[in-house]
Amino acid sequence: MIPEIEIATRTKYNIEFNEESEVWVYGDRRSTRSAKTVKGAYQLLRMTYVIGFLKEQLRNNKSSTLRELYYISENWDIAKFNEQQESDRLIEDLEIISTYQREHFHIRPEEDGATVVGPLRIREETRRGLREIHCQEDVGEGGYQIPVNVDKIEFVEHDAKFVIAIETGGMRDRLIENGFDERFDAIIVHLKGQPARSTRRLLRRLNSELNLPVVVFTDGDPWSYRIYASVAYGSIKSAHLSEYLATPSAKFVGIRPSDIVKYDLPSDKLSDEDIKALNSILSDPRFDSEFWKKEVNLQLELKKKSEQQALAKYGLDYVTDVYLPERLTEMGVI
Report the catalytic residues.
71
Is the preceding peptide bond at 255 cis, omega within 30 degrees of 0? yes
Rounded Cα gap, residues 269 and 272, in angstroms: 10
Rounded Cα gap, residues 204 and 150, in angstroms: 10
Rounded Cα gap, residues 234 and 285, in angstroms: 12
Angle at Cα 246 formed by Cα 275 and Cα 15, nearest 5°?
A: 60
DSSP secondary structure letters along 188-221 = EEE--SS--HHHHHHHHHHHHHH---EEEE--BS
Angle at Cα 70 formed by Cα 234 and Cα 103, nearest 5°?
A: 45
Cα 310 to chain centroid distance, Å, stands at 24
Nearest alpha-carbon partner for 215 in 259, 256, 157 = 256
Question: What are residue 251's phi and psi, to 5 degrees?
Answer: -110, 150
Residue pair 219/168 in contact by the 8 Å Cβ criterion: yes
The helix or strand, by DSSP H or E, that contains position 91, with its residue range, turns out to be helix 84-98
Residue 236: which residues within 8 A CB-CB, separation 6 or more?
10, 11, 12, 15
